[in-house]
Amino acid sequence: MKIDTDFNAKNLMPEAEPPVEDGATKYDVELVAVSKSYDGGAKAVDTISLRIPKASYCCLLGPSGCGKTTTLRMLAGHESVTDGDVLIHNRNVTDGAPSARGTSMMFQSYALFPHLSALDNAAFSLKIKGVKKAERHAKAMEFLKLVQMDHLAHRMPAQLSGGQQQRVALARSLITRPKVLLLDEPLSALDPFLRVLMRTELKRIQTELGITFVHVTHSQEEALALSDLVVVMSDGQIMQAGSARDVFEKPSNAFVAKFIGGHNVIDVEGRKVSVRADKCRIVQSVGGTNIPAEVTNIEYQGPMVRILVKDSDGKEYHAQISDSRFFADPPVIGEKVTFSWMPEDEWRLAA
Amino acid sequence: MGTKRTTSFYVLSFVFAAFLIFLYGPMFCVYLLSFQGPEGGMSFPMRGFSTVWFETLFTAGGRGVGDIHNSFIRSLRLGAIVALLTMLIGLAVGMSFRRRYPGGNFVFYSAIVSMIVPGIFVGFGISLTLNMLGMRPQWWYSGIGAQLTWSLPFAMLIMFIILGRMDKSYEEAATDLGANSFQRFQYVILPLILPGVIGMFMAGFTSSYEEAARAGLNIGTGNTMPMELTGLLGAATTPVMFAVGTLTTLFMFTMVIVTLLASWSLAKRRQLRLTAHHA
């Protein structure tokens, strides 16, 4: 997965823009109180504001129907904005045509034109601009090289695997020299092995090009692995926006703690706290809070083992402990144990 | 293999066989009788085997042939124009339904209704209206118009199926890559629906070529093939009409094969262009 040393990906991208006096170009993308409603009905996206810093990898994370794809499509210009403003590189593009915004979108189904070869797909935007054939093919070849698809340039989309199609779609988008690349669930159609591989690849390309990627996903694992900025959404609103570490360690509310995974959301003295499952203990008390419970399930995950327990009220908790600790004294399903955590591991959630 | 066949297999096979016999049996009789010997009549038995009826057909002023040559030309001319209009209008209607618009449902259902109403009354209605307006029917407006009421709904349905199957994100991707609506149509949509567009042309041609109920009263002077044949068959005494049946079938098959070959060579040329790049 290395590219030629004499091949500098940054050369493929637009010239750096001169800085604007007020310094507002710290952000590649700004959403200002953006809403979307269909036919005056319920809001699919409800007054969200978001700033995405320069050259960052941003993931919009949330369950189906949370408004993340609608937000992305409003950024792309494929969905009209009901209310609010969309700024890209400090320019208001709210009502601009998709191709005039400096964005490019990679579709979930890739949407490669089935009647055109990989090369002609990649060269499509240049053909639209009226670039001569030899020139546009040469340029398309450069971008296919960036995504390591130059050797299959003359294949039709139907002759390519899912991962290969995705690479071609990526080249086709990047050739427009976008300031911001928008990716709609780009990894969801791939098998798990390829998904991890392409994830690394996307991050590599983003780093090399030095542009902003906005990536929609429902996988918290994907979002944590890729993001400089994770935006957790639910019901058309932003629940939390922050670095992957912030979102994982300091979830702002119960929804985020539950959705991001690996947390117990517990009522302690009338307030909600989250406790990371890997900080919880089974069997030996760590001091702190102890709850008598019964083991209901054990999931072996390699380096970690996840243990689910249920207390006398039927409330469920889970703990993640290292395999060495687990196998030193493995509990069995049905065993009465003590579930415990330290008060300093409690993270207070918003009501 | 080796699995036991169920009763339903035999029942359905029987139904299918009956269908084939009903469809092709009479046609084969026609084809066979068109090679009837010079002494033979319009039914079996065959009295020898000859091409004399084809010769009669192609002799100027042949007995029992009527104005068949000119009516064939008229049908061809009418069919080609109806096919072209069906294709163009069908394409436009289909494209208009890519976006929802007020009154869209009305357009759709009123077109479907035109498939249901009896053709003879559509034809009569058009003719009556022209009469009231004091206009004389002519093939190039009332004839074509009457046939379009029949061919357009089919074209519309073909377009709905073809465009309905097309992923909407192709268009969005083209827009995203800078294409305007015309370029989007030219470079993305049209190449993808080309087989359907050719299909509309063919459907337009075949529905015009054999249509008489609507066109009959509105064609003006000069019969088309189905009208001329209906007239000639009523008074026929020789198998010359069977020769017409054989030839017109041959003509339709040729049309279909030429269309298939054309689309096939289109695909082939595309493939060749790609292989040429490889070298």
Q: In which band, very low, low, confident or very high, does the pLDDT at B240 lie, cut at 50, 70 and 90?
A: confident
Residue B48 has pLDDT above 90, yes or no: no
Q: Which residue type sits at B259? A: T
Contact of B170 with B132, CB cutoff 8 Å: no
Q: Could you count the other beta carbons within 10 Å of the beta carbon of residue B82? A: 27
Taking the C-alpha atoms of residue A279 and residue B143, their distance in angstroms, rounded to an integer, is: 84
- Asked if A117 lies within 8 A of B170 by C-beta distance, the reply is no
> Quick one: tokens of B215?
């066109």
Which of A97, A107, A129 lies closest to B173 in CB terms? A107
Q: In which band, very low, low, confident or very high, does the pLDDT at B2 lie, cut at 50, 70 and 90?
A: low
Task: Give yes or no for A172 touching B (CB within 8 A).
Answer: yes
Residue A3 has pLDDT above 60, yes or no: no
Q: How many CA atoms lie within 13 A of A74 on its CB side?
A: 31
How close does chain B come to A125, measured CA to CA in Å? 5
Q: Could you count the other beta carbons within 10 Å of the beta carbon of residue B39? A: 9
Region of A65 please: left (phi>0), alpha (psi -120 to 50) or beta.
left
Residues of A in contact with B192 (CB under 8 A): 113-115
CA A37 to mean position of chain CA atoms: 24
Spans of all domains in chain B: 68-235
CB proximity under 8 Å: B 40-69 to A: none
* Domains present along chain A, CATH in parentheses: 9-249 (3.40.50.300), 268-348 (2.40.50.140)
Tell me what pLDDT residue A219 has.
93
Residues of B in contact with A156 (CB under 8 A): 274
Substitution target from A116, A120, A128, A144 for chain B, most B beta carbons within 10 A: A128
Q: Name the architecture of domain B68-235.
A: Orthogonal Bundle (1.10)
Taking the C-alpha atoms of residue A60 and residue A259, their distance in angstroms, rounded to an integer, is: 13
Strands A229-234, A237-242: pairing is: antiparallel
Please state, for a pLDDT cut of 90, what percent of chain A lies above it.
66
How close does chain B come to A128, measured CA to CA in Å? 6
How close does chain A come to B93, measured CA to CA in Å? 23
Taking the C-alpha atoms of residue A292 and residue A125, their distance in angstroms, rounded to an integer, is: 64
- A237 has which bridge partners? A234
Tell me what pLDDT residue A25 has.
65
Tell me what pLDDT residue A17 has.
52
Q: Could you count the other beta carbons within 10 Å of the beta carbon of residue B270? A: 14
Task: Give yes or no for B176 touching A (CB within 8 A).
Answer: yes
How close does chain A come to B112, measured CA to CA in Å? 29
Task: Return mean pLDDT, chain A.
Answer: 88
Task: Give yes or no for B270 touching A (CB within 8 A).
Answer: yes
Residues of B in contact with A108 (CB under 8 A): 169
Contact of B155 with B202, CB cutoff 8 Å: no
Residues of A in contact with B170 (CB under 8 A): 111, 113
Task: Return mean pLDDT, chain B.
Answer: 86
Total residues belonging to chain A: 351
ipTM above 0.85, yes or no: no
Q: How many CA atoms lie within 13 A of A349 on its CB side?
A: 27
- A215 has which bridge partners? A59, A183
How close does chain B come to A242, measured CA to CA in Å? 29
Tell me what pLDDT residue B78 has.
93
Of the listed ranges A265-279, A308-322, B90-104, B229-243, the least confidently predicted one is B229-243
Least Cα distance to B142 among B78, B186, B194 occurs for B78
For residue B130, what is the DSSP state? H
* Tens of pLDDT, residues A75-96: 999 999 999 999 999 999 999 8
Which of B175, B188, B191 lies closest to A98 in CB terms? B175
CB proximity under 8 Å: A 64-103 to B: 76, 78, 97-99
Tell me what pLDDT residue A131 has.
94
CA distances from A189 to A166, A178, A192, B16, B46 (A): 10, 24, 9, 42, 66
Which position has the token pair 């890519």?
B98
Please state, for a pLDDT cut of 70, what percent of chain B lies above it.
94
Which of B167, B274, B275 lies closest to A111 in CB terms? B167
Tell me what pLDDT residue B148 has.
93
* Tens of pLDDT, residues A213-235: 999 999 999 999 999 999 999 99
**Closest-approach residue (CA) in chain A for B188:** A113
Tell me what pLDDT residue B71 has.
87
Sign of torsion over alpha carbons A151, A157, A162, A163: positive
Tell me what pLDDT residue A168 has.
95
Residue A111 has pLDDT above 50, yes or no: yes
How close does chain A come to B110, measured CA to CA in Å? 27
Which position has the token pair 């695997």?
A161
Tell me what pLDDT residue A8 has.
56
- B126 has which bridge partners? none
How close does chain B come to A344, measured CA to CA in Å? 50
Contact of B239 with B40, CB cutoff 8 Å: yes
pLDDT: which is higher, A288 or A197: A197
φ/ψ of A276, rounded to 5, equals -60, 135
Residue A24 has pLDDT above 60, yes or no: no
Residue B259 has pLDDT above 60, yes or no: yes
CA distances from B277 to A121, A152, B226, B274 (A): 15, 12, 50, 5
Q: Residue B44, class by beta-carbon neighbours within 10 Å (0-12 exposed, 13-18 middle, 19+ buried)?
A: exposed
Residues of B in contact with A109 (CB under 8 A): 167, 169
Tell me what pLDDT residue B14 has.
96
User: How confident is the model over A125-149, as a mean pLDDT?
Assistant: 94
Tell me what pLDDT residue B236 has.
73
* Tens of pLDDT, residues B62-99: 677 778 888 899 999 999 999 999 999 999 999 888 87
Strands A336-341, A346-348: pairing is: unpaired
CB-defined contacts A:B, below 8 A: 65
- Asked if B192 lies within 8 A of A115 by C-beta distance, the reply is yes
Residue B241 has pLDDT above 90, yes or no: no
Torsion, CA A172, CA A177, CA A180, CA A185, rounded to 10: 10
CA B189 to mean position of chain CA atoms: 24
Least Cα distance to A97 among B183, B26, B274 occurs for B183
Tell me what pLDDT residue A300 has.
92
pLDDT: which is higher, A5 or B262: B262
Contact of A30 with A58, CB cutoff 8 Å: no
Taking the C-alpha atoms of residue A256 and residue A250, their distance in angstroms, rounded to an integer, is: 9
* Tens of pLDDT, residues B171-204: 999 999 999 999 999 999 998 888 889 889 999 9
DSSP A85-131: EEEETTEE-TTS-GGGTTEEEE-TT----TTS-HHHHHTHHHHHHT-
Taking the C-alpha atoms of residue B52 and residue B64, their distance in angstroms, rounded to an integer, is: 13
> Quick one: tokens of A115?
């009647």
Which position has the token pair 């890209």?
A88
